[in-house]
């Protein structure tokens, strides 16, 4: 009797999983159609918990403004904190301001600086992360938490394994990132879990001018195009 109930429930789960494929496909199709029409962009990551007027919030506004003035759109996760600051800088510069929102039980809500026609909603983190990577010409990563690290290391892994073409990955905030990078060098690298050249995939800076300089220098010898 218990076995019968178990198998009935398991079969229902499998059916629901099959139908979920269509929802996932719908998110990919909608994302690809909208993002492919936007043009070259830079993705900015960082904590949703960073408050307005905080130093990294204000620095992110300046970075996004300067990157927008250099001709790139800005993509963020669409929420508060560093994401809001990125969209705000793009808005102030009159540039393209994209928000890829995710449905979460806390923290996430649309910020008011996203272009009305460039706000996309996602239920699946993995679909959203594909959009971040596929349409970004660079990642600019401000201090953040687990989500920020997830997005950062996924991009590094895809480049390291040649699944996507290389693009600049710029960490902003020497004081924040030094401990992590020291651990990568003294533990991961010394254990042989990564190669010395993998460290070249990351650059650490502290100013908006450095961010723009790195992106511009990279694309003097590389083509602006979507990944994958």
How confident is the model over 5-56, as pLDDT tens digits? 555 565 665 667 788 889 999 999 999 999 999 999 999 999 999 999 999 9
Confidence band for 1, pLDDT divided at 50, 70 and 90: very low
Q: What is the 3-state secondary structure (H, E, C) of 91-153?
A: HHCCCCEEEEEECCCCCCCCCCCCCHHHEEEECCHHHHHHHHHHCEEEEEECCCCHHHHHHHH
Given a cut of 70, whether residue 199 has pLDDT beyond it is yes
Given a cut of 80, whether residue 133 has pLDDT beyond it is yes
Mean pLDDT within 172-178: 98
Q: Which of 101, 35, 91 is nearest to 68 (CA)?
A: 91
Question: Structural domains in the chain?
Answer: 2-218 (3.40.50.450)
Helix (H, G, I), strand (E, B) or coil at 187: helix
Only one residue has tokens 């919030």, namely: 57
Report pTM: 0.89
Q: Cβ(113)–Cβ(11) under 8 Å?
A: no
pLDDT, tens digit, for every residue of 78-130?
999 999 999 999 999 999 999 999 877 665 578 999 999 999 999 999 999 99
Helix (H, G, I), strand (E, B) or coil at 77: coil
Q: Cβ(125)–Cβ(103) under 8 Å?
A: no
Helix (H, G, I), strand (E, B) or coil at 22: helix
Tell how many helices (H) and how many strands (E) occur in the chain.
7, 7
Q: Cβ(46)–Cβ(83) under 8 Å?
A: yes
- Residue 15 has a pLDDT of 61
Element of type H or E holding 75: strand 73-76
Element of type H or E holding 204: strand 202-205
Average pLDDT, rounded, for the chain: 91
Check residues 222 and 24 and name the one with the higher pLDDT: 24
Share above pLDDT 70 across residues of the chain, in percent, rounded to a whole number: 91
Among the listed ranges 135-139, 165-169, 223-227, which one has the minimum average pLDDT value? 223-227
């Amino acid at each position: 009797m218990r076995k019968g109930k178990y198998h009935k429930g398991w079969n229902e789960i499998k059916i629901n999983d099959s139908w979920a494929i269509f929802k996932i496909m719908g998110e990919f199709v909608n994302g690809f159609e909208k993002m492919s029409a936007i043009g070259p962009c830079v993705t900015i990551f960082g904590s949703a918990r960073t408050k307005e007027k905080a130093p990294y919030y204000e620095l992110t506004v300046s970075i996004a403004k300067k990157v927008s003035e250099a001709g790139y759109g800005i993509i963020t996760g669409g929420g508060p904190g560093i994401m809001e600051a990125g969209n705000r800088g793009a808005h102030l510069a009159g540039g393209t301001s994209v928000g890829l929102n995710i449905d979460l039980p806390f923290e996430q809500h649309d910020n008011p600086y996203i272009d009305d026609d460039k706000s996309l909603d996602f239920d699946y983190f993995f679909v959203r992360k594909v959009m971040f990577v596929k349409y970004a010409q660079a990642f600019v990563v401000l201090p953040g938490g687990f989500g920020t690290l997830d997005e950062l290391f996924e991009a590094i892994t895809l480049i390291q394994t040649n699944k996507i073409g290389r693009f600049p990955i710029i960490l902003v905030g020497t004081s924040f990132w030094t401990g992590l990078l020291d651990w990568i060098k003294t533990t991961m690298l010394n254990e042989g879990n990564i190669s010395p050249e993998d460290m070249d995939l990351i650059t650490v800076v502290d100013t908006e001018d450095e961010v723009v300089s790195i992106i511009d220098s990279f694309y003097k010898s590389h083509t602006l195009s979507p990944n994958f």
